[in-house]
Structure 1
């Protein structure tokens, strides 16, 4: 994002936080409905008997389709001069959906509004000229994107997407284990040094009965968490150069090794790879007392059928890098957030009608919404209550609310860097991390190798 890492792909595609928004009809007096109704004319509207017709493309599965259809029906009821056709390109599969979308675009079909799964998908198509910039329509409707949405994909000062959903990272903690160790639930501002200290104190037992202080999974999120959580792009700085030389890499690689070898508070990386472990199972089976993950796991503590357990789950913001390991392009502890974007095709013949639908989709309230909104003015507390459900006794609700919506919590906007060689750079990170964790190579040698390899890829494939 920027382009998607595995962590961000998981955040965008995981349980309850995947696909296009699944919302049912809402009352005509909601805040979102009022804003949508004020969004301008439909764009070359026909007479009352001949409304403008536009299409909305996504990858809804069967369950999501009903909610989307209800939302579109409500939009059309409020906007009788616009007719919207819901086109599911490939049900439940965003990767295949993008392939089919690209075929439609290349064939010259008029594409109106599309849901895209991540920023990378937006940037890729915008740079090819497949998307229409939104600046003129934002100006006509007196809207400032940065005041409306957390993440605003932009190329050369042209805006190309509206954020439909948001997902957030946080730390799950076994509150019973915290209480047993006499530790408070961490608040915003704790660092990865503090995390290491917590993990040591949360260790319990030995051998097969051991509960580790924490568990780190195999994704890039767990190889350099600061790069994935407090930087706009996990691969490159704003000037286009590789971030693999960043101080966070040396710091976090060494932290991971020390927590495994010296503290023995994290299950060894080699064992995690060999056993193909599941991070949810590690946490809810009390194999680990803390896990870095994301908001797609909010329903899990209440899911006793799949994750039977008796302890209360607490939540904490992602730790920040300590002063000696702050990244080069650091924006004072703001967090990365990802999510689905809705965009307008460059070939649409009805820009104003399409813009009106996009605003409605991103701002309308719903009684069935199960994704956090990307709109800054949305009432995400209502969504949170819905995700928690009836088993509130299994949640430390106050810590979850503070983690997501606390006064100190702020989010980064989109990166200005467009990274297209995601898979190649991801492999460099994976290989470098494995070199360091599974051998005696020094961190300096490993980091130099990573920087050299990333530099070759960027020089060959990327433009600044």
Structure 2
């Protein structure tokens, strides 16, 4: 059999496969990858042209409209797979009430902070239970100086997710007909820029500011970004590029929403419906996305789709590595960052929300106008094409 997986995951899959082979010596799998920049485009092309790829990994929504995904419901039932370990993620992955992939890992958001800056300012560290309004006030308190010597209270990368997450945290979806839940988040980012407590969108774009470099520079108190930043900071410490102390707390939350409510993006394994080895492919998928595969990924620092107490302990480690409060990552209430349906990521996240949000942030339109236009474009550019054929799973 042949499996194509993301470049960053290849070595972990190979390690996990060594364990799988001990239990299943007759199932031979050749793991391959494609460079990250071309991964989805090239893999879609290979699958559509009939390449003999039996199993593949990635964001499931990218492949739904190809008709190449094998429904897994019968396999899950026949193998008596314990889906409780996936939590709400299992139902949220369903499309038209069918399961087309199981998550082996996921990405979640967290608030990283520079402990050294807080210590120097004599300000208490961010709380684990902090509203967005409290976050804004803390960012203002931590902002000082001017020009090249300025310390910013916060850094929010110029992605639409950094403002629309406030709506998603309340249970709203970016494909809802009523998008009023997203006004507050866009206005919030605009207000923080006016406060001067974070670098404005226009300056971020013109200076090519990046969340990783900005935080590592040491003049940003709080950085709102995903779990992958842990590995970036650990590497920077190992290479002695940073000397400040740092930690994490849950992302701020809207008033009335539980603390540590975050956004999750699952990365799944899927079976090619044209595979001649579907039973064997599912057996590999079951291992990689279940307890045994999750242990391997957790040991490498990946947040896993499947979670239990043992996997939590593996992910958290023995306490010798930062961040001290890494446990928050495996205690989150999660909503999908966006519905896992065709076109949502490319059309809505990558274009509609990005473009209209940016026009509001540059003053070319008001927040109300931006949300109104987003609603119109969601209907005309996405819903008219996909909504009647695809229904997202439960949140």
> 2:166 touches 2:184 (CA, 8 Å); kept in 1?
no
2:178 maps to 1:236: no
Q: Which residue number corresponds to residue 203 of structure 2?
A: 271
Picking from 32, 57, 70, the partner of 1:88 is 32
How far apart are the structure 2 equivalents of 1:166 and 1:185? Answer: 25
Deviation of 1:230 (Å): 6.0
Going from structure 1 to structure 2, the CA distance change for 1:360 and 1:230 (only over 3 Å counts) comes to farther
> 2:269 touches 2:285 (CA, 8 Å); kept in 1?
yes
Unaligned runs of 5+ in 2: 389-395
Going from structure 1 to structure 2, the CA distance change for 1:157 and 1:195 (only over 3 Å counts) comes to same
2:333 partner SS: coil
2:368 maps to 1:444: yes
Picking from 204, 219, 242, the partner of 2:159 is 219
Q: Which residue number corresponds to residue 356 of structure 1?
A: 283
Q: Which residue number corresponds to residue 60 of structure 2?
A: 119
How far apart are the structure 2 equivalents of 1:286 and 1:163? Answer: 35
Q: Which residue number corresponds to residue 57 of structure 1?
A: 4
> 2:139 touches 2:222 (CA, 8 Å); kept in 1?
yes
Q: Which residue number corresponds to residue 206 of structure 1?
A: 146
Deviation of 1:337 (Å): 1.4
How far apart are the structure 1 equivalents of 2:193 and 2:56? Answer: 45
Instruction: State the TM-score, normalizing by the size of structure 2.
Output: 0.84
Q: Which residue number corresponds to residue 104 of structure 2?
A: 164
Of 427-436 and 413-422, deviating more is 413-422
2:282 partner SS: helix
Q: Which residue number corresponds to residue 338 of structure 1?
A: 265
> 1:203 touches 1:211 (CA, 8 Å); kept in 2?
yes
Deviation of 1:381 (Å): 3.3
Picking from 382, 394, 400, the partner of 2:326 is 400
Instruction: State the TM-score, normalizing by the size of structure 1.
Output: 0.72
Post-superposition Cα deviations, 1:111-168, rounded to whole Å, max 9, x if no partner, equal 42222x213224334xx2x121111121122235344456332122211111111221
> 2:145 touches 2:151 (CA, 8 Å); kept in 1?
yes
2:14 maps to 1:69: yes
Deviation of 1:429 (Å): 2.0
Post-superposition Cα deviations, 1:414-440, rounded to whole Å, max 9, x if no partner, equal 976624154333323223222222226
Q: Which residue number corresponds to residue 176 of structure 1?
A: 116
Going from structure 1 to structure 2, the CA distance change for 1:100 and 1:269 (only over 3 Å counts) comes to closer
Going from structure 1 to structure 2, the CA distance change for 1:281 and 1:139 (only over 3 Å counts) comes to same
Deviation of 1:382 (Å): 2.2
Unaligned runs of 5+ in 1: 1-53
Deviation of 1:341 (Å): 0.7
How far apart are the structure 1 equivalents of 2:369 and 2:47? Answer: 46
How far apart are the structure 2 equivalents of 1:447 and 1:320? Answer: 21
Q: Which residue number corresponds to residue 296 of structure 2?
A: 366
Please state which structure has a larger fraction of its residues in helix.
2
How far apart are the structure 2 equivalents of 1:101 and 1:111? Answer: 9
> 2:72 touches 2:98 (CA, 8 Å); kept in 1?
yes
Q: Which residue number corresponds to residue 141 of structure 1?
A: 79
Picking from 229, 234, 251, the partner of 2:184 is 251
Q: Which residue number corresponds to residue 335 of structure 2?
A: 412
Q: Which residue number corresponds to residue 429 of structure 1?
A: 353
How far apart are the structure 2 equivalents of 1:396 and 1:159? Answer: 35
Q: CA RMSD in A?
A: 3.0
Deviation of 1:172 (Å): 0.7
How far apart are the structure 1 equivalents of 2:249 and 2:260? Answer: 14
Deviation of 1:170 (Å): 0.2
How far apart are the structure 1 equivalents of 2:141 and 2:157? Answer: 20
Deviation of 1:307 (Å): 6.5
> 1:167 touches 1:337 (CA, 8 Å); kept in 2?
yes
Deviation of 1:290 (Å): 0.6
How far apart are the structure 1 equivalents of 2:4 and 2:378? Answer: 36
Post-superposition Cα deviations, 1:201-254, rounded to whole Å, max 9, x if no partner, equal 111223321101111221112232324666575x313xxx3x6x2322x21222
> 1:150 touches 1:163 (CA, 8 Å); kept in 2?
no
Deviation of 1:68 (Å): 3.5
> 1:172 touches 1:313 (CA, 8 Å); kept in 2?
yes
